[in-house]
Amino acid sequence: MNTYYISVDLQRSLSIFVKIIFALSTVLSGLTFFCLVKVSDATRSGLRKYLIYIQCLAYLHDVYLEILYKGFPLFPMLGGYCYGLLCHWASQAIVILIMGNMGAAIVMCIIYRHQSIIPPNSPLKFNTVSYYFVY
């Protein structure tokens, strides 16, 4: 038997496992989104918008990879195949776009926190022109 073969039973088990992970991720993502929108205070509204954006991108990433584009890796070979709705119509460029946006949002979150904790007369503090350019 070929070692790079995934049987139908194993594929079905992996698909069920991925759906369970997606269900848990949806519950936790909904709880996190609720806490960000309702529970967090208004003094951190600038940081909150970046965190909400990151949470939306994380959920979009979960929907894309776990529901629309189900990938099955073939180990130890560096490869795999997919079985989902978007396997033949979409590429991995969507995942790269989502992950790039998530990375940029995390960097913006770090810059926002950095600008909020440094003193006003510091040379590292953004002036008004660079503030509007960055944000």
Query: Closest Cα to residue 26, out of 74, 62, 50, 70?
Result: 62
Domains in the chain: how many in total? 1
Domain containing 14 equals 8-101
The answer as to whether 95 is a domain residue is yes
Mean pLDDT, the chain, integer? 84
The answer as to whether 37 is a domain residue is yes
Both structure tokens of 14: 């992996």
The answer as to whether 45 is a domain residue is yes
The answer as to whether 90 is a domain residue is yes
Residue in this structure with the two tokens 């073969």, named with its chain if needed: 5
The reported pTM is 0.78
- DSSP summary character for residue 121: T
The answer as to whether 76 is a domain residue is yes
pLDDT score at 3: 64
The answer as to whether 16 is a domain residue is yes
Query: Closest Cα to residue 36, out of 21, 20, 58?
Result: 58
Residue range 29-61, pLDDT digits in tens = 999 999 988 887 766 777 888 889 999 999 999
Dihedral sign computed on CA atoms, order 79, 84, 88, 90: negative
Q: What's the residue count for the chain?
A: 135
The answer as to whether 129 is a domain residue is no
Residue 77 has pLDDT above 80, yes or no: no
